[in-house]
């Protein structure tokens, strides 16, 4: 059974040594996409080294591409794989080009799912897929939610509300033409639509200028005074940016460094040690730390390895913060392992990740970097924060195209039903971001907004 005919794309592996990453495409458009990205078609199953180019003819990267003709492929469909060196940002630009060719982003586990439907997997292998889909979609939901915190999320929600508000008018005009008001003739509709188009354009400008994707994810270092937070920042950035002393309460303000792990851009933020501070300056520092944590994609909770191992990091952090803000995922860093004699180590259990290391001796630093790359970059490649954000931008782009067409239809042809269609598609796109797909009771809203019916 071929489940459907769409073509999907995703990062298949995170960048390894030297930043090599694989983008995989599966579906009927694969062949077409191959020639668009490479400027030529490929002999099946032959690795070819050549430049990847975008729509405007600009070279994105040079790498290896392999085309697999269905059914002789992982999924059983036509598949093409691009292996690039350019790191996540370049790979993302490559994915964007592929999306523009008509592919859509794969759901978690979708490649395996297709392989299964196309009889490319036996029953035992298939047992695992359900788990991947299940955990993958939960993870994706969490990632999407995280990256949605704050202003961006508010704006998307506001936009959805405005679209729904407009749809109420447009649908009412169509289903209730015998009422005394002609909803469509109302100038209101054009001005509401223009308003939405402007809002979306602004949102896209912000999103694309990098604050969302290209600029990188936020990692906040937090913990008690003297745990070694500033030392960790210095270790990760490879320079002495923060002052390190053995005086508790050295750091009083937030300090940000940009780093890149195999091309994955990250903001590392050092914060003031968390304690009941009497000093006014330190209090403000702790407030700022709290705010940074709230907006982080990940928190590194630094503790002294001499202290007892923490079992519930979230609870510990909440206690230290003395507030119940919603917390991003937390990694426990057991620092100063050189003093306790423990060996550097990463220990991942279901709800607790612990990295044992030494910030001053730089031992275990690589383990931490690999860990960060996995959890923030593209672990379970289709569900990480990175992919979540790629999805957002993709959805915004499609939403904006629908709005533009809708506008042209309304102003040019007064075609209410086509505007309605475009608005519905716009809302579907925005819903992909918020993850709220439940049918919004549009009719219900019409009845409560207007006195309708005979």
Partner 1 sequence: MIYDKSFDVIVVGGGHAGTEAALAAARTGASTLLITHNIETLGQMSCNPAIGGIGKGHLVKEIDALGGVMAKAIDHSGIHFRRLNASKGPAVRATRAQADRTLYKNYVRCQLENQDLLQIFQQSVDDLILQQDKVVGVVTQMGLQFNAKSVVLTAGTFLDGKIHIGLSSYSGGRAGDPPSIGLSERLRELPFNVERLKTGTPPRIDARSINFKELEPQHGDSPVPVFSFTGKASQHPQQIPCHITHTNKRTHEIISGGLDRSPMFSGIIEGVGPRYCPSIEDKITRFSERDSHQIFIEPEGLETFEVYPNGISTSLPFDVQMAFVRSIKGFENAHITRPGYAIEYDYFDPRELKASLETRHIQGLFFAGQINGTTGYEEAAAQGLIAGLNAALLVQEKESWSPSRNESYIGVMIDDLITRGTQEPYRMFTSRAEYRLILREDNADLRLSEKAHELGLLSDALWQLTATKRDLINLEIERMKSSWVQSNSPSAQKINQLLEKPLSREYSQMDLLKRPQLDYAALVEAIPGVGDGLPEPVKEQVEIQAKYAGYIDRQLDEIERNKKQQNLKIPAQLDFSKIGGLSNEIIQKLSDTRPETIGQASRISGITPAAISMLLITIKKRKIRLSGTESSDTESLSVNPKVEQS
Ligand X SMILES: Nc1nc2c(ncn2[C@@H]2O[C@H](COP(=O)(O)OP(=O)(O)OP(=O)(O)O)[C@@H](O)[C@H]2O)c(=O)[nH]1
Applying CB under 8 A, the residues found at the interface with partner 1 are 1-6, 107, 109, 113, 116-117, 123, 126-131, 133-134, 137, 171, 173-180, 184, 412-418, 420-421, 424, 438-439, 442-444, 447, 451-454
Choose the one of Mg ion, partner 1, ligand X, none that binds residue 113, judging by a C-beta under 5 to 8 angstroms depending on kind: partner 1
**Strand intervals (E) in 324-435:** 330-335, 345-349, 352-356
Cα distances (Å, whole numbers) of residue 435 to 7, 49, 142: 21, 39, 11
| 309 in Cβ contact with 326 (< 8 Å) | no
Q: Which is nearer to partner 1, 108 or 328 (CB)?
A: 108
Could you tell which of partner 1, Mg ion, ligand X, none binds residue 177, using a CB distance below 5 to 8 A set by kind?
Answer: partner 1
How far apart are CB 343 and ligand X at their closest, in Å? Answer: 14
Residue with Cβ nearer partner 1 (126 or 201): 126
Q: Which of partner 1, Mg ion, ligand X, none sits in contact with 360, Cβ below 5 to 8 A by type? A: ligand X
Cβ 231 to Mg ion shortest distance, Å: 8
Q: How far is CA 309 from the centre of its chain?
A: 31
Comparing C-alpha atoms, which of 45, 58, 110, 105 is closest to residue 86?
58
Give least dist CB 298 to ligand X, A. 18
Give the nearer residue to ligand X in terms of CB position, either 272 or 420.
272
Q: How far is the CB of 374 from ligand X (least distance, A)?
A: 23
Contact between 16 and 86 (Cβ < 8 Å) = no
Figure out which of the listed residues 26, 75, 83, 230 binds Mg ion, where binding follows CB under 5 A.
230
Alpha-carbon distance of 138 to 388, in angstroms, equals 12
3-state secondary structure of 21: strand
Q: What number of H helices and E strands is found in the chain? A: 14, 13
Residues of this chain that interact with ligand X (CB under 6 A) are: 223, 225-231, 244-246, 248-251, 273, 335-336, 338-339, 358-360
Smallest separation, CB 310 to ligand X (Å): 16
The nearest distance, CB 113 to Mg ion, in angstroms, is: 47
Query: Strand, coil or helix: what is 166?
Result: helix
Residue with Cβ nearer Mg ion (200 or 235): 235
The answer to whether 418 and 438 are in contact (CB under 8 A) is no
* Contact present, 129 and 114 (Cβ < 8 Å): no
142 binds, among partner 1, ligand X, Mg ion, none (CB under 5 to 8 A by kind): none
Say which DSSP state 439 is in: P
């Amino acid at each position: 059974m071929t489940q459907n005919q769409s073509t999907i794309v995703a990062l298949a592996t995170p960048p390894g040594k030297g930043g090599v990453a694989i983008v995989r495409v599966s579906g009927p458009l694969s062949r077409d996409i191959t020639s668009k990205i490479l400027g030529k078609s490929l002999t099946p199953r032959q690795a070819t080294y050549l430049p990847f180019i975008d729509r405007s003819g600009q070279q994105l990267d040079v790498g290896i591409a392999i085309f697999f003709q269905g059914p002789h492929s992982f999924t059983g469909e036509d598949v093409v794989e691009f292996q690039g060196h350019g790191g996540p940002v370049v790979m993302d630009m490559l994915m964007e080009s592929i999306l523009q060719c008509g592919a859509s982003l794969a759901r978690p586990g979708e490649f395996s799912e297709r392989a299964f439907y196309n009889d490319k997997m036996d029953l035992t292998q298939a047992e695992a897929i359900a788990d991947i889909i299940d955990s993958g979609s939960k993870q994706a939901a969490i990632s999407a939610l995280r990256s949605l915190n704050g202003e961006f999320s508010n704006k998307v929600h506001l936009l959805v509300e405005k679209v729904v508000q407009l749809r109420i008018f447009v649908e009412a005009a169509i289903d209730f033409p015998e009422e005394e008001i002609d909803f469509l003739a109302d100038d209101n509709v054009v001005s509401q639509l223009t308003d939405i188009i402007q809002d979306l354009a602004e949102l896209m400008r912000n999103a694309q200028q990098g604050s969302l994707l290209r600029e990188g994810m936020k990692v906040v270092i937090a913990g008690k005074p003297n745990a070694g937070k500033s030392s960790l920042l210095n270790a990760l950035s490879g320079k002495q940016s923060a002052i390190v002393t053995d005086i508790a309460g050295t750091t009083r303000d937030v300090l940000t460094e940009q780093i890149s792990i195999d091309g994955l851009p990250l903001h590392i933020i050092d914060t003031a040690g968390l304690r009941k501070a009497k000093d006014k300056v330190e209090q403000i520092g702790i407030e700022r730390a709290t705010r940074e944590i709230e907006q982080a994609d990940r928190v590194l909770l630094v503790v002294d390895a001499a202290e007892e191992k923490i079992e519930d990091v979230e609870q510990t952090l909440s206690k230290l913060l003395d507030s119940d803000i919603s917390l991003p995922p937390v990694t426990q860093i057991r620092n100063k392992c050189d003093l306790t004699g423990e060996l550097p180590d990463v220990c991942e259990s279901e709800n607790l990740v612990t990295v044992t290391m030494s910030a001053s001796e730089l031992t275990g630093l690589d383990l931490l970097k690999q860990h960060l790359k996995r959890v923030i970059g593209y672990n379970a490649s289709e569900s990480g924060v990175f992919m979540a954000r790629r999805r957002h931008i993709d959805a915004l782009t499609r939403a904006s195209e629908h709005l533009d067409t809708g506008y042209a239809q309304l102003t040019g042809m007064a075609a209410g039903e086509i505007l309605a269609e475009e608005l519905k598609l716009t809302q579907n796109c925005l819903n992909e971001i918020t993850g709220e797909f439940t049918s919004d009771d549009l009719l219900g809203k019409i009845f409560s907004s207007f006195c309708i019916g005979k």
